[in-house]
Amino acid sequence: MTEAKKTPLLDELEKGPWPSFVKEIKRAAANSPSAQDLLGQLELSYVDKKAHWKHGGLVGVMGYGGGVIGRYSDVPEQFPNVEHFHTVRINQPSGWFYTTKALRQVCDVWEKYGSGLTNLHGSTGDLVLLGTKTEHIQTIFDEISNFEEHPMDLGGSGSNLRTPSCCAGPARCEFALIDTLDICHDLTNEFQDYLHRPMWPYKSKIKISGCPNDCVASIARSDFSIQGTWRDDIKIDQEAVRAYVAEGFDIEGLVISKCPTKCMSFDGNELTIDNANCTRCMHCINKMCKALRPGDDRGATILVGGKAPILQGAMMGWVIVPFMKLEPGSGYQELKDFLEDCWAWWDEHGKTRERIGELILRLDMRNFLRGIGREPIPQMVVAPRANPFFFWWPEEVEQD
């Protein structure tokens, strides 16, 4: 495609108040032949009602099996500049904090060897560079990994550990109950080999949220969701509670009645919380943040099995470890051992393209727990007695 062609179907996607990816591709197309051909091929896809990308197979750089997603056009004679249109994932810094210079370095490389189109950040979390040719991949990797300042590594793709990602945590949020940035950085360094060399039945993701508000949606988007929490009592400032009520705050309607376990009450003077029955959802703290604060004994809840639809439907993670202490700089050995145990069981029993949550569904929770050496606990089910997700071993059942 050597000159701009009309794209009436794509133009429809520019209408309305929301941002349009078509508008951004058109901006890039002013200087990028591959962006021009991308528009042309995308328009053709809407006309034909089918994607015109072939499965890319394996492309990569020396020593790495992941980080580059291969993509080829099935109509290269019409759009030669997207005959190869590979995607490069770059391992993002924890919390997505970049300096301006770091971003300029990446953009300079990408304008030289790629389409100039980027995507910050994909569902895995990486800085994504869209569209380059096979012959440029090694050069791109060599240049980004040898930046004078802020050298960068490839992220994960394929059947391996995907790039761990986290929320901004203590860098910007008062509710951060764990140091998400330190945990993410530590796990990324610890599991570098798992990140770059496909070795498992399918992908495995780790996402870390500083509190149960879960701003990175880890419970729904990752096989291993690590969420900051606390295990002592919620701290209450009764004077502040009364001030809320005196100002007309509907404490009954907005807080008490919304508590999922109904563990709160207000007698007109004092707020009472039955902390033993609190699930640490943080709704009350979000609503009354001047009066309620998380406790001081802080750590993380570990959930396993979340994923988007592939073989099975979308799944949320199950609580497997209700509380684990994660002190900054400790090395997080207990967490790493837990991950290794889960991966070993999954790697031994999983089928091709089967995520660990799907394997737990297929072989059931008791086999998973026995495989990783953990006992069943009530927190693993949403509603004990109504949701018999754990089935006892026959030898453990006493018949009347």
**Tens-digit pLDDT profile for residues 70-120:** 999 999 999 999 999 999 999 999 999 999 999 999 999 999 999 999 998
Place of tokens 């007698």: 267
Band (pLDDT 50/70/90 cuts) for residue 173 is very high
Contact predicate 225/306, CB 8 Å: yes
Share of the chain above pLDDT 70, in %: 96
* pLDDT higher than 50, residue 2: no
* pLDDT higher than 50, residue 1: no
Higher pLDDT, 187 or 54: 187
pLDDT at 56: 65
* pLDDT higher than 80, residue 276: yes
The pLDDT of 301-322, averaged and rounded, is 89
AA letter at 371: G
The pLDDT of 165-171, averaged and rounded, is 96
pLDDT at 149: 83
Domains belonging to the chain, first-starting first, are 8-146 (3.30.70.2500), 161-230+297-380 (3.30.413.10), 235-293 (3.30.70.20)
Beta bridge pairs of residue 236: 292
Band (pLDDT 50/70/90 cuts) for residue 387 is low
CA angle 230, 232, 234 (to 5 degrees): 85
* pLDDT higher than 80, residue 5: no
Q: Give the whole-angstrom CA distance, residue 255 versus residue 243.
A: 15
* pLDDT higher than 70, residue 301: yes
* pLDDT higher than 90, residue 199: no
Kindly state the tokens that stand for 134: 């096979």
138 C-beta neighbours (distance < 10 Å), count: 13
* pLDDT higher than 80, residue 206: yes
Band (pLDDT 50/70/90 cuts) for residue 388 is low
Per DSSP, the residues of 327-358 read: -TTS--HHHHHHHHHHHHHHHHHPPTT--HHH
Contact predicate 194/160, CB 8 Å: yes
The chain-wide mean pLDDT, for the chain, equals 91
**Tens-digit pLDDT profile for residues 337-378:** 999 999 999 999 999 999 999 999 999 888 999 999 998 887
Higher pLDDT, 121 or 301: 301
Range among 39-43, 58-62, 306-310 rated most confident: 39-43
Q: Give the whole-angstrom CA distance, residue 109 versus residue 122.
A: 20
CA-wise closest residue to 52 among 81, 76, 26, 88: 76
